[in-house]
Amino acid sequence: MTRTALITGISGQDGAYLARLLLDKSYRVVGLAPRRGSDMFWRLRTLGVADDVRIEYADLNDAASVQRIVAREQPQEFYNLAAQSFVGTSWEQPVHTGLIGGIGVTHCLEAIRQTSPHTRFYQASTSEMFGKIQAPKQSETTPFYPRSPYGVAKLYGHWITINYRESFGLHASSGILFNHESPLRGVEFVTRKISLAAARIKLGLQDKLFLGNLDARRDWGFAGDYVDAMWRMLQQEAPDDYVVATGVAHSVRDFCEAAFSHLGLDYQRYVEVDPQFLRPAEVDVLLGDPAKAQARLGWSPQTNLKTLVTMMVDADLQRLQSPAAA
């Protein structure tokens, strides 16, 4: 029997890579997305899967719309990837961020509980929940201390997932994913901002790149690797929570150096710090411990930072040189 998977946030980076992974495994994929005027599905087209995904329009703030689709589809798996996912914007839109990242998760779980309790649920948690870190390397047992409205909202979503698992016996798991990037990352994120600027500067289209804290350190992996961990969680007999990370941290400065040097450029000539890009409350270091995911899921990252950065810079260079294909 063909398995059906629902994906919220299917228009995003992770949603697109996950859709491709599931289609390759012969799933029937249904994407939930809000109605918007702009082109939402360019990532699905980039991966060549747009015509293979069925799109249903739903808003996670509207419990009835989510419940209607879950009741009709009776999916074997539900991946909740929807969020206002840009940390910087969460200070400007704290209520919206909280509604989608927190209450929206409850709407998904309640729809499953009431209409399709056999459905296995995945919640996209985040390393931003650790925030002001309480341990040098963060694992599933490290205390949380979020430092942004985004992190706070995601923490609600994380705990309500655990609560529904323990209260109602749902197969509900959370992936505490550390930073994961790709050529499909939005240009508002620092990694894509860097890769695009490096390509533009190489082509003479830009002179400078202005960033915030160059010394902030993150555990960066490839989104295409991380969606495989999501799928593996829902194949387990028992639900649980897992840190998904590379176990290696690099600074924003390191990312800049890798991106510019790939194009034969010295980042120090082009990158400048602009105070407007500093966060109200900075998270200095995030470094994950993926030992549990490696041991229980058999998962490990396949892409190192240099390969990831090269992939992103080359993709942006190609887009700029062939804009019609972007």
In a domain, 295, yes or no: no
Question: Known catalytic residue: 126?
Answer: yes
Please tell me whether residues 22 and 162 are part of one structural domain.
Answer: yes
The tens digit of pLDDT for each residue in 33-46 reads: 987 755 889 999 99
Phi, psi for 35 (deg, rounded to 5): -75, 125
Check whether residue 196 and residue 172 sit in a common domain: no
Q: How many domains does the chain have?
A: 2
Question: Does 94 share its domain with 195?
Answer: no
Residues 166 and 38 reside in one and the same domain: yes
**Residue 86 belongs to a domain with what CATH number?**
3.40.50.720
Report how far residue 200's alpha carbon sits from residue 25's, in angstroms, rounded to the nearest whole number.
Answer: 37
Q: Are residues 116 and 191 in the same domain?
A: no
Handedness of CA 223, 290, 5, 87 (dihedral sign): negative
Residues of the chain above pLDDT 90, percent: 80
User: Tell me: the pLDDT tens digits for 160-213?
Assistant: 999 999 999 999 999 999 999 999 999 989 999 999 999 999 999 999 999 999
What residues make up the domain containing 199? 186-218+248-285+303-325
Q: Could you tell me if 198 and 316 lie in one domain?
A: yes
Looking at residue 235, its amino acid is Q
Hey, what are 198's tokens?
Answer: 């490096």
Same domain, 156 and 213: no
Give the tens place of pLDDT for each residue, 265-324: 999 999 999 887 776 666 678 899 999 999 999 999 999 999 999 999 999 999 999 865
Do 115 and 210 belong to one domain?
A: no
Q: Give the pair of three-digit tokens for residue 108.
A: 């998904």
Give tens-digit pLDDT for 135-167.
889 999 999 999 888 989 999 999 999 999 999
Residue 292 belongs to a domain? no
Q: Is residue 78 part of a domain?
A: yes
Judged against a pLDDT cut of 70, whether residue 85 lies above it is answered with no
Catalytic residue among 17, 27, 79, 150: 150
> Is residue 291 a part of any domain in this protein?
no
Give tens-digit pLDDT for 240-263: 999 999 999 999 999 999 999 999
CA pair distance 263, 265, nearest whole angstrom: 6
Residue 208 and residue 274 share a domain:
yes
Map tokens 């994929």 to a residue.
29
Pair 190, 97 in one domain: no
Q: Of the residues 97, 119, 126, 303, which is catalytic?
A: 126
Catalytic residue among 73, 77, 128, 181: 128
CA dist., res. 26 & res. 139, Å (int): 33
Phi/psi at 300 (nearest 5 deg)?
-150, 150
Q: Look up the CATH number of the domain holding residue 264.
A: 3.90.25.10
Residue 19, domain member (yes or no)? yes
d(CA 54, CA 302): 30
Domain membership flag for residue 298: no
Spatial separation of the C-alpha atoms in residues 310 and 198, rounded to whole Å: 11
Task: Indicate whether 165 belongs to any domain.
Answer: yes
Categorize the per-residue pLDDT at 26 as very low, low, confident or very high, splitting at 50, 70 and 90.
Answer: very high
154 & 192 share domain? no
Separation of alpha carbons 89 and 97, rounded Å: 9
In a domain, 82, yes or no: yes
Same domain, 57 and 144: yes
Bridge pairing between strands 180-181 and 221-222: parallel
Known catalytic residue at 270? no
Given this model, what pLDDT does residue 323 score? 64
Q: How many residues does the chain have?
A: 326
pTM: 0.93
